[in-house]
Amino acid sequence: MESEATETAETRWLDQTERDAWLRLVAVVELLPGVLDAQLRGSAGLTHFEYFVLAMLSEARERTLRMTTLAQRTNATLPRLSHVVRRLEDRGLVERVPCPEDRRATNAHLTDAGWDAVVDAAPGHVETVRTHVLDPLTREQLSQLRAIGDSLLATLDPEGRMTALFDGGA
C-alpha cells in the first residue's frame, strides 16, 4: 500500500490546461493520418507512407538512397521499409540495386514511373495539407506550430535524425 501512495504522490497529473492541449494533440495525431491516406489512396493509389518513401527518394541525389538511410528518413524499421519498397517495386515505382560503395548494402532507386507518380500525387497532397493543417492557421500560429514542433522533437528525436531533413541535412 505504501508503494501505491508513493507512486500517486509522485505522479504529476495533468491540470485542465495541459489535459485540453494533450487531448487536442492526440486527436490531431489520430485523425490526420487517415485524412492524408484517404486523399492519396483516392487520387494516386498510394498510402501516405508510400508517398513519403517516394518523396524522400525524389529529393535524393540521383533519386537514390541506401535502404538504411531511407529507413532513417522515413522513421521506419528496415523490415517495414523492405515490405513497402517491395510493393513499390512490384508496381515499377522503385528498384533495389546493389550499393556501388558497399556491395553488402542495398540502394533504393526511384524509377521514372516512380518520379511520375510522386509528381502527379504532390499537388493533391499539398492541397490536402493546406486545407486540413496550414490554411486554418494564421502566420503567427504557423510560427508557433514550428516552435512547438521543434520543442517536442528535441525530446522525441534527440539525435536529430528526422529534424536533419528540415534543415537540409542528412
Range 3-32 average pLDDT: 87
Q: What's 57's domain CATH number?
A: 1.10.10.10
Query: Percent of the chain having pLDDT more than 90?
Result: 84
User: Measured between alpha carbons, how far is residue 68 from residues 59, 82, 116 in Å?
Assistant: 16, 10, 24
What pLDDT does 89 receive? 98
Mean local confidence (pLDDT), 33-39: 97
Q: For residue 154, is it within any domain?
A: no
Number of separate domains in the chain: 1
Residue 158 within a domain:
no
| pTM, full prediction | 0.86
